[in-house]
Amino acid sequence: MMEFTAEMIAGFLGGQIVGDKEAKVHTVSSIEEGEPGALAYLTNLKYERHLYTTKASIVLVNKDFTPSAPVAATLVKVDDAAACVVKLLAMYQAAKPRKQGISPRASIAEGAVVGENCYVGDFAVIEAGAHIGDNCQIYPQTYVGDGVTVGAETILYPGVKVYEGCRIGDRCILHAGAVIGADGFGFMPNAEGGFDKIPQLGNVVIEDDVEIGANTCIDRAKTDSTVIRRGVKLDNLIQIGHNVQIGENTVSSAQTGIAGTSRVGRNCFLAGQVGIADHVTVGDRVMIGSKSGIDKNVPDGEVRLGYPALPGIQYHRSSAVFKNLPELARRVTRLENDLETLKNK
């Protein structure tokens, strides 16, 4: 187990120590749940009360913060506590032991290429023509299909399935149960009242530095490619349809669904349970609120909320009216009754 002293942490972050420079930590926790040996952090002052009761050994705070009561923990004061937490978490992650070696219970087809310093776990399957880059980690029960390319330093967690011909870039992370390259949902009505399957002959291309959450599905294209651009971050339980393209550094929360052939631009944010209809284009830097339904194109830089989605200010105005509808209905009824009374007179 790796241990770090307050002095080591302050040196790494360029911080100032208030308290015991020899205080040691081996884990990170929230300030509410802090226990001895834990590093906690105060990045939001509404949690300040926990600073005076936490059992954490070290707490990160901003340099301009002054406690209003005695603090038992050692403080490390830094310019930006929130940013430093991310740096420390990355340091802890890097300190964890890395899995190594190729399991004798893995199945690697003749003609598949596995790069240097890779880990391949039990019952992983790598088919013919697949190419795994250097320093990859292929966890147990992962399937890498024929002709798949996986870039260097990419991690495929247990149960990931990558169908034939798909391409995954460098430094990607695919969490457990993600399915890349299953057939797009394409069917044609036939004369008998049923549906004929439309062959899905394309693939999925995932560029560098993409992270894909657990049980997220990205369908292969009918022709050409479904494309996830560099730096995209997708949460768990997301469905991406065939021939969709998602632009660089776009982020989506869980349970979003994007129907076939739609386009989402760069640096967008999609909150949870967003639905985007087929053949819709969403511009760059667009923000879409949770549970919103997008059935029309959205220009660059816009905000959309609600179902059907409206521009932000229009949605808020409509919402203000909606919550007053019961009273408005009663007022209309009273006015109708008064008008009827006047007519009878």
Using left for φ > 0, alpha for ψ between -120 and 50, and beta otherwise, residue 171 falls in left
What residues contact residue 318 under an 8 Å CB cut-off, 6+ apart?
306, 310
What residues contact residue 324 under an 8 Å CB cut-off, 6+ apart?
none
DSSP 49-84: GGGGT---SEEEEETT---SS---SEEEEES-HHHH
- Pair 220, 183: CB distance under 8 Å: yes
Using left for φ > 0, alpha for ψ between -120 and 50, and beta otherwise, residue 285 falls in left
- Pair 165, 186: CB distance under 8 Å: no
Tokens of 142: 């992962």
Tokens of 55: 């059992």
Cis peptide leading into 158, omega within 30 of 0? Answer: no
Residues recognised as catalytic: 242
What residues contact residue 236 under an 8 Å CB cut-off, 6+ apart?
175, 213, 214, 215, 216, 254
Spatial CA neighbour of 35 closest among 62, 63, 73: 73
Tokens of 244: 């969709």
